[in-house]
Structure 1
Amino acid sequence: MSKHLEFEDKSVEKAIQKACDKVHMTKEELRYEVISYGSSGIFGLVGSKKARIRVTIPEFAPTPNKTGQPAKKKVLPSEPTKIEDSEKDAVSTDPVELGKSALQRIIDFITTDAEISVKEASDRILLNVKGGNTAALIGKHGQTLEAIQYLVEKVVNRQMEQRTRIYIDIEGYLEARQASLERLAIRLAEKVKRTGKPETVGQMNAHDRRIVHLALKGDEGVRTLSKGDGFIKKLLIFPKKNSLLKE
């Protein structure tokens, strides 16, 4: 009965050489299957994976003798079976495929058994993730999810002439987050109208600020204003009659 051994290294060639040295066969005699061609990381930014091969050792394979040299019994060479290397495929210009592929590569570094579905709208692409370690994918206060979305959007728009909005949701987190922010916005707006004093909503990213702005857009008693520099800003809610703050 044949047995299988796996070897890994920085490249397939180095993994093959390691296997040859271990089982005392030449490359032509070695029967192997490429499991992974390895990766230099996510878009050259973070992480890396080694190349991995699986070697089949038949019953009649030569085994080393007491001198450490292989026996003279010959093994017929066979053609290696290779798994398709997705990284050698041509780069897609479809934003949906680009986004899904980029997201899948990032997820694979964090968790397993996660599935991605796509929902397209006229002004955005929503990538839904189900399964896997959702807590790790979302992170504290959604910070990991924000970082993932930022990376995926950068990768997609680097290939596109026109900017494409990418939204990533994990097990309904965005929907729950939106509902929570809308309730917060309405509650603070009522307080502002009651007291006549502005209220500040903590440090928020652009997506969360947009939710609050839209939630209060139809409220004639208050105005909203983002303040600060960079990606994270504060959001102010104040009475419309208050002319001290101007956009």
Structure 2
Amino acid sequence: MLIKEAIGSGPSVDAAIEDGCRQLGMSRDDVKTEILNLPVKKTLGLFGGAPARVRIYVEETPLTIAQNYLTSIFEQMGVLEPDLKVEENENGAVFTISGDDIGFLIGRRGETLDALQYLAGLVANRNTDSYYRITINSGNYREKREQTLTALARRMAIQAVKTGRNVSLEPMNPYERRIIHTAVQGIRGATSWSEGDEAARHVIIGPEKGGSPAPKREGTGQGRPPRRDGYRGGGKPRGKRPPAKTEGTQKPTGAPIDKEIVAPQNEKPEVPLYGKIEPKK
């Protein structure tokens, strides 16, 4: 917990409080006070005397720090009266923003929302020993994005097991990589891991016993150009049509004999609601 304070002085206690509030830039209703010295009148109106001294302070928690920071940022962005709902949990707080014409707060593939979340987390935790997680959502963007990534991860995991090849996805932030890893854990015979540094860190999905890397193009060292859904490689070489598939369960190549993959039947592919999954560059 961070404490901001100031010492106010004046001919009276009220005047000292007002002086302290001016120093902090806060109203009297938002602060706590502690009287240090009462005013002392001068003897015979000429000698001695002392002004009142009052300690003005406010206790700032990571939640209030993040909330004040976001409010100031929204004002600078021209969002003067956003509907900001706060739900605190045992690990941190979730800020949900709603209102008219605030789609630009999400940004391309949620990049603006992620940036605000990252900065608010830094500010809230700069003077704390334990980590206070800040999550920012706008409408139900996070939920829709999670559904899109989960569907992509399941599709690519099934593909990787069937073809015996690893699949490389686009770079993602830690929050989105966790969604991918969690979804892959639900597919038998598939596994996932992260590679790359910082902004280039991305998820690789492959069969549990190890798969072949995506084919490289001569002279570039790069894999096959990615498809629009984020898939970067794998699959059967061109010119060789795979055998007809039968409905039901199939034994994946390279998977343990006692494990089977059941591809979801009659399931329509989900289309990303907030932009396509961009390829790793």
Structure 1 position 117 matched with structure 2 position 85: yes
Match of 2:149 in 1: 181
Shift of 1:230: 1.3
In structure 2, the residue matched to 1:214 is: 182
AA partner of residue 106 (structure 2): I
Residue 228 (structure 1) aligned to one of 196, 208, 215: 196
- 1:96 corresponds in structure 2 to 63
Contact kept in structure 1, 2:192 and 2:203, CA below 8 Å? yes
Q: 1:1-247 maps to which residues of 2 (within 5 A)? A: 84=27, 90=57, 92-110=59-77, 111-242=79-210
CA distance in 2, matches of 1:144, 1:84: 32
Quick one: which amino acid aligns to residue 133 of structure 1?
D
Counterpart in the other structure of 1:69: none
Range with greater deviation from structure 2 (159-168 or 216-225): 216-225
Distance 1:194 1:244 in 2: 12
The structure where helix makes up a greater share of residues is: 1
Are 2:121 and 2:134, in contact at CA under 8 Å, matched by a contact in 1? yes
Kindly report the root-mean-square deviation, in angstroms, between the aligned alpha carbons of the 2 structures. Answer: 2.7
Query: TM-score, normalised to structure 1's length?
Result: 0.60
* Count of residue pairs brought into register by the alignment: 165
Cα 1:167–1:114 shift into 2, 3 Å = same
Deviates most, 94-103 or 155-164 = 94-103
CA shift, 1:132, in A, is 4.3
Give the aligned residue type for 2:108.
K
Alignment partners' CA distance in 1, 2:146 and 2:29:
36
Q: 1:85 to 1:104 in 2, by over 3 A?
A: farther
Deviation at 1:197, TM superposition (A): 0.8
Gaps spanning 5+ residues in structure 1: where? 1-36, 38-81
Asked whether the 8 Å contact 1:134–1:171 carries over to 2, the reply is no
Deviation of the 1:122 alpha carbon? 2.3
Query: Relative CO higher for 1 or 2, CA cutoff 8 Å, sep ≥ 6?
Result: 2
C-alpha distance 194-107 of structure 1, shift in aligned 2 (>3 A): same
Larger Rg: 2
> Any conservation in 2 of the 1:112–1:132 contact (CA below 8 Å)?
no
The whole-number CA distance in structure 1 between the counterparts of 2:28 and 2:106 is 29
Please identify, of 83-92 and 186-195, the stretch whose mean Cα deviation from structure 2 is larger: 83-92
Q: Contact 1:206 / 1:232 at 8 angstroms: preserved in 2?
A: no
Q: 1:241 to 1:168 in 2, by over 3 A?
A: same
The 1-side partners of 2:105 and 2:166 are apart by 35
Residue identity (%): 29
Q: Give the Cα–Cα distance (whole angstroms) in 1 for the partners of residues 111 and 167 of structure 2.
A: 24
Give CA-to-partner distance per residue, 1:51-86, whole Å, 9 cap, x none. Answer: xxxxxxxxxxxxxxxxxxxxxxxxxxxxxxx99499
User: Please, which runs of 5 or more residues in structure 2 have no aligned partner?
Assistant: 1-21, 32-55, 214-281
Q: CA deviation at 1:215?
A: 1.7
Amino acid at match of 1:122: E
Equivalent AA in structure 1 for residue 166 of structure 2: P
**Taking structure 1 as reference, are residues 124 and 213 closer, same or farther at Cα in structure 2, changes over 3 Å only?**
farther
Letter in 2 for 1:206: P
TM-score normalised according to structure 2 size: 0.53
Counterpart CA distance in 2 for 1:240 and 1:218 is 13
* Structure 2 equivalent of residue 73 of structure 1: none
Q: C-alpha offsets along residues 200-230 of structure 1, whole Å, 9 cap, x if unaligned?
A: 1101011110111112223331111111111
